[in-house]
A and B are shown apart, each in its own frame.
Chain A
Amino acid sequence: MSAARRRLLAGLLTLTTAAAVSACSGGGDEAEGDSSTLSMMVPLFGTAPDPKGEIQTAVEKLIGKKLNITWVPNAEYNEKTNVTLASDALPDVMVIQDNKGPSFVKAAEAGAFWDLTDKLDKYPNLKPKSEQTWINSKTNAKNYGIYRVRPLLRSAIVIRKDWLEKLDLEMPKTTDDLYKIAKAFTEKDPDGNGKKDTYGMILPKWPGTTFSASSPYNVMDVWFGAPNNYGMRDGKLVPEFDVPEFWEAQKYIKKFIDEGLVNPDWATLDTAKWNDPFIQGKGGIIIDVNVRAGQLFDGFKELDAETYDEKVAMAGNLSRPDGKKFSYPFTGFNGIIAVSKQHVRTEAQLDEVLKVLDKLASKEGSILVSNGIEGRNFKVEDGFAVKINDQDPQMKVINNDVEKAFIQLGMTSSVGVPGGAYEWMRPSQAEKDWLKQRDELMNLDLQTAVHDPSLPVISQTAVEKGATLNPIVTDARIKYLAGELTEEQFKAEIKRWYDSGGTQILTELQEGISKVGG
């Protein structure tokens, strides 16, 4: 789409949103007397559910209110959020995906949303279950919404299981093990075709320029003991890239690249094609989120349904050469559900809305939004949900409404975190084992997780100068790994980051962190 068309579209969106939202808010105003209708804005991954469909009716019955939901396709959700925030006609309840983004921060601080920091204790299902995630989901020390839970630790290594077995190698426990595996995958012909046409690890071009972005590089930095984004050293906040451990990690990664143990196009490979070399049998290691193993299972299944379960193995975070282990955690949430002040004006009205959300977050509500209606579209076997009759058109509608839409309202349950709901049954034993292993690894690695203390805080300088500052160190690292910068030149780039505003970011973050008390 050209810039001009995008602008036109944005304009049109503004108009239609204004119209749509004002229509909704008109209804909301009328409804305020009996307050029997709640308006919402929620991301959508498929076709929008019918408001009179079985699932919405069941949800309305559960919460005792009518719902007026604006479903917005996920790809344009953030843009639409920005437009809606600018339109001063906000729905009562909004899913905010980027609750650290400048437009939400500014709107929230201008008073558009309820501050829920001290308000959730009364509601048994909304009360935060994880202190860490509660802190991570803060916006400048305040919670403007209820976080939508995700696994707090998702980092993992996915390895070609058949290659490991062919070369008679063990699953890795340390960073040295991983290096040896990568070396063997490159040099010992794991696919047995007599040619040296494989490589160990697959690295993609990471989108965006933010330095700390859950990339494989960040995960490896943390393994060697560097901070996750920022960390406290001797009472001072330091960035990930300015500690000795970081340099150990860089030497480790550079060894992979210099010795040709990674894909030759590691600086340019699109993340959307990350799985391809793995499935095509070119590379055998991916460091990413644990659910990627599920994608790879599915990819191999398409290729060969007989043997697909013999190709994927997963390992957790690794310990560094001296045996110490540091694990890379995730934030534990994906956006928040915020309550706008536009129609919900008094504490009593807020209480009513929170009670509704509490019901949605209960066991009953969780099952409804993540599985559907028990006995209708699914049944429970061994604690797993199994679909009933899933080729039936009516069931397809229910499953679509649940999986592509209503699951987005899940606060205490979601994909990967069953919460009160049920996990879906996977067909093969290998996959069942994998699901079990995933949870075990997560709990194990959480004990050594290195959390990012800067998450609840926002630095004004970082917002204003991010476009200039972010690429400096991010690009310098890639150039250093590619051999285009020496270590001295890389350090000079880090100094340039400090001088162009980095020092100020650190000061602002440190102030903020001391206020949060994290």
Chain B
Amino acid sequence: MATDLAPPATKAARKAEKGRRPGRVPVRTALLRYRWLYLMLIPGLLYFVLFKYLPMYGLSIAFQDFVPFLGYSDSPWVGLKHFENLFTGPDFGRLLFNTLFLALLTALFVFPAPIIVALLLNELRVSVFKRYVQSLIYIPHFLSWTIVFSLTYLLFSVDFGVVASWIHSLSGGGPKVDYMAQPEWFRPLVILQLLWKTSGWGTIIYLAALAGVDPNLYEAARMDGAGRWRQFWHVTLPAIRPTIVVMAILTSGNLLDQSFEQIWLLTNSLNRSVADVFDTFVYYVGVTQGGYSYATAVGLFKGVAGVVLIFGSNWLAKRLGQRGLF
């Protein structure tokens, strides 16, 4: 981006560049030439240093037996003890599996949902109806997970759940299914909640991309005799493909972040074996048990795994012939 804003190089500068490798400018010259741009960069840099990098100092407690009263400097260092405990402990396998499995389900079902909804909305011709639907499906985004959970409980509770008793009567009696308590229903419920809450809001960015498609392309396609389906396949989809790829890479970094409140509220004694994920475990160990160091170690591991996912999907995107993020 910065190069677009660069002032046209002066003759003298161009002369000086002759004989060098093309595109290379000495650092000092560059600094001087683009000084205003660099100056504008400073607040942003400061923000990242102050609020993103400096706090990482706190990660050091993952390698300590941290006691708040003793502070960072006096708490004893214990090396990789907490990581060893984590990797050899009985919880690790289950946590990793649950987290990854939910991440996979999210990628398969939740990620494509807003794209599909946006495409459907895009095909609507009555704009009043379209805007109406759009506003309606944004609403769930603004509800807290606690409310979403309460709604789920009202619908699926074995005692008075509307949907639960509806399914029960449709399926012709038999024992009632306790959707809220059975492990096999935990993941479907999580995915359903996510779909309901996030798909509408997620359409915004795709609708923006769709709005940017040149209408001439459609016209040209129509002239060539393309029907609705052909227009969609050859014009619409290629136009928003870069957006989809960028969103996919960005999402991959957050795949391991299950929404804490969502999982925590749905967890109970009967479904804990499938419900425990890294995020709830960190809360449980760190906040309720005061195991700051262990919790930080778990969180750090999750962070590293997230970085691997981002780089992995970026690499994959490039391999598949798309433009990556970096």
Contacts and interface: CB of A to CB of B under 8 A. Distances in A.
Interface in B224-272: 257, 259-261, 268-270, 272
B178 A86 contact: no
Interface stretch (B10-18, B112-120, B281-289): B281-289
Contacts of A205: 268-269
Interface stretch (A51-59, A325-333, A358-366, A464-472): A464-472
A173 interface: no
A468 B89 contact: yes
A336 to B, nearest CB: 17
A3 B260 contact: yes
A2 B146 CA distance: 12
Interface in B275-325: 279, 281, 283-285, 287-291, 294
Contact of A478 (B67, B70, B260, B270): B270
A353 interface: no
A106 B65 CA distance: 11
B69 A2 contact: no
29 contacts: A2-B261, A3-B260, A11-B55, A82-B290, A85-B68, A85-B69, A86-B71, A88-B69, A103-B68, A103-B69, A103-B290, A107-B67, A110-B67, A110-B70, A205-B269, A209-B284, A264-B178, A267-B178, A267-B270, A268-B157, A268-B181, A269-B159, A464-B294, A467-B91, A467-B289, A474-B269, A475-B269, A475-B270, A478-B269
Most buried by A among B153, B181, B261, B294: B181
B269 A265 contact: no
Contact of A86 (B68, B153, B159): B68
Contacts of A442: none
Interface in A309-351: none
B100 interface: no
Interface in B54-96: 55, 67-71, 89-91
Which 8 A-B residue pairings sit nearest by Cβ, starting from the closest?
A86-B68, A102-B290, A478-B269, A107-B69, A467-B285, A268-B180, A265-B159, A475-B269
Contact of B90 (A85, A88, A107, A468): A468
A244 interface: no
B118 to A, nearest CB: 25
A352 B288 CA distance: 35
B291 A464 contact: yes
Given A107-B69, A500-B90, A479 B290 contact: no
B163 interface: no
A30 interface: no
B288 A208 contact: yes
B7 to A, nearest CB: 39
B68 A484 contact: no
B249 to A, nearest CB: 20
A475 B178 contact: no
Contacts of A474: 269
Interface of A: 1-3, 11, 79, 82, 85-86, 88, 101-103, 106-107, 110, 112, 205, 208-209, 263-265, 267-270, 282, 463-464, 466-468, 471, 474-475, 477-479, 482, 484, 500
Interface of B: 55, 67-71, 89-91, 153, 157-159, 176, 178, 180-181, 257, 259-261, 268-270, 272-273, 279, 281, 283-285, 287-291, 294
B60 to A, nearest CB: 15
A467 B82 CA distance: 14
B159 A482 contact: no
A471 B290 CA distance: 17
B158 A265 contact: yes
Contacts of B284: 209, 467
A477 B71 CA distance: 40
Contacts of B91: 467-468
A158 B313 CA distance: 58
Given A88-B71, A268-B268, A479-B269, A466 B289 contact: yes
Contacts of A102: 289-291
Given A82-B68, A264-B158, A464-B291, 7 more contacts: A110-B70, A265-B181, A268-B178, A268-B268, A463-B290, A463-B291, A475-B272
B70 A265 contact: no
Nearest to A282: B159
A463 B285 CA distance: 9
Contacts of B157: 265, 268
B176 to A, nearest CB: 7
Contacts of B269: 205, 209, 267, 471, 474-475, 477-479
Nearest to A478: B269
A471 B272 contact: yes
Contacts of B67: 106-107, 110
A107 B68 contact: yes
Contacts of B289: 102, 463, 466-467
A276 to B, nearest CB: 10
Contacts of A268: 153, 157-158, 178, 180-181, 268, 270
Nearest to A475: B269
Given A3-B279, A467-B285, A267 B69 contact: no
Nearest to B265: A270
A482 B181 contact: yes
A223 B109 CA distance: 50
Nearest to B299: A3
A468 B93 CA distance: 13
A509 B156 CA distance: 43
Nearest to B157: A265
A482 B279 CA distance: 27
A205 B158 CA distance: 14
Contacts of A2: 259-261
A467 B281 contact: yes
Contacts of B71: 86, 88
B268 A267 contact: yes
A11 B89 CA distance: 30
A342 B271 CA distance: 47
Given A265-B157, A268-B181, A482-B181, A112 B290 contact: no
A264 B159 contact: yes
Contacts of A110: 67, 69-70
Contacts of A88: 69, 71
Contacts of A265: 157-159, 178, 180-181
| Most chain B beta-carbon contacts within 10 A, residue among A265, A269, A479 | A265
Most buried by A among B68, B90, B157, B261: B68
Contacts of A475: 269-270, 272-273
